[in-house]
Amino acid sequence: MEIAVKRKDGYVRVNGLGLFYEDFIPEFKKATILCLHGGPGASHDYLLPLADLAKYGYRVVMYDQFGCGRSDELEDKTKFTFDYAVEEVEGVRKKLCSGDRLFLMGSSYGGALALSYSLKYQQNLTGLIVSGGLASSQLTVKEMNRLIDNLPSWASSAIKKFGALGEYANPEYLKAVQEFYSRHLIRINPVPKEVQLSLEYADKRNVYRTMNGPNEFTITGTIRDWDITDQIHKITVPTLITVGEYDEVTEVVAREIHNRIRGSILKVLPGCSHLSMWEDREGYINTLKDFMNDRLQI
């Protein structure tokens, strides 16, 4: 039987910034899942399928990170870092989820952030979920370049040619980027409006370009050398890692995380790319639900 769910939204102040959040509250709560969006620089909108978990008794909280979506932006761009973001997650946890049995879920960059948070604050977690996440920017880019090599020749040639020239707005380059995205970001046409909204926020605000770069596979921003691969073995909280069969953050990246976190579970979602919560909504939600139920021994 599905449980009645109430939704609310608002702003929570963390480190002086107003952060927009949505909260899906079941009538009977088993635990809370706090969801971290990717980018860095997107918004939480593309994660809205996870609100389905509230029907099974899980309170679902998601928010727009600093400078993302509807949230305030830091004036000091030197703080556009993982260290700041980790403390922001902890601030949100304290304000919105204090005292809850808490699962932390991160998608893409949000998965990287969830891993970073866990290295410092895993004592606050009941479980960790990393969906299409990464522990090394360089390994991720290496794998994305492998995917580019396997694109149709016109697309791979355009990406390499205009990328080398730094002509990221060239129409041929942009067409090739879309070819990559249609195979490895989201394999749904038309793109769901919630996903499109998240991409538009990333494009019009500063965080994505500052921290990441001009697109998913060209990481020229502040996270380009980020790597915590040699630290994640310290994570002991129960961990689920999901990855799409065609994910831009590939199964190679996911297995590297899985192999280093003892006892972690790796789930490859067939037919899916990066946004598997849209491409196989039911399968993805059931994977998360089953993992959390197991951790709670339900």
Q: Is 280 left (phi over 0), alpha (psi -120 to 50) or beta?
A: beta
Q: Looking at 108, 131, 137, 276, which residue is catalytic?
A: 108
Token look-up 């500063």 returns 206
What is d(CA 232, CA 230) in angstroms, rounded to the nearest whole number? Answer: 6
Catalytic residue among 23, 52, 72, 247: 247
For residue 274, indicate whether it is catalytic.
Answer: yes
Q: Given pLDDT bands bounded at 50, 70 and 90, which one contains residue 2?
A: confident
Calculate Rg over the CA atoms of the chain: 18
Work out the number of other CB atoms within 10 angstroms of the CB of residue 172: 15
Cα–chain center distance at 183? 18
The sheet carrying 17-26 orders its strands as 5-14, 17-26, 58-63, 31-36, 102-107, 127-131, 239-244, 265-269
Query: What secondary structure letter does DSSP report for 136?
Result: B
**pLDDT for 255 beyond 90:** yes
pLDDT tens profile 170-215:
999 999 999 999 999 999 999 999 999 999 999 988 899 899 988 8
- Each residue of 103-127: pLDDT tens digit? 999 999 999 999 999 999 999 999 9
SS3 95: helix
pLDDT at 3 over 90: no
Does residue 289 carry a pLDDT above 70?
yes
Catalytic residue among 37, 44, 184, 274: 274
Question: Would you call 118 a catalytic residue per the annotation?
Answer: no
Q: Are 53 and 47 in contact (CB under 8 A)?
A: no
DSSP-derived pairing of the beta strands 5-14 and 265-269: unpaired
Residue 108 is a catalytic residue: yes
Confidence of residue 100 (pLDDT cuts 50, 70, 90): very high
The domain locations on the chain are 5-296
CA distance 201 to 189: 20
**Four-way CATH pick for 5-296: 3.20.110.20, 1.20.58.760, 3.40.50.1820, 3.40.50.10800:** 3.40.50.1820
* CA-to-CA separations, 159 to 148, 172, 279, in angstroms, rounded: 8, 8, 26
Reply yes or no on whether the pLDDT at 298 is more than 90.
no
1 pLDDT higher than 70: no
Span 12-29, pLDDT tens digits = 999 999 999 999 999 999
Q: Where do runs of H (alpha helix) occur along the chain?
A: 82-96, 109-121, 137-149, 153-165, 171-184, 193-204, 207, 251-260, 276-279, 281-296
> With bands split at pLDDT 50, 70 and 90, how would you rate the model's confidence at 5?
very high
Distance CA(16)–CA(18), nearest Å, equals 7
Average pLDDT, the chain: 96
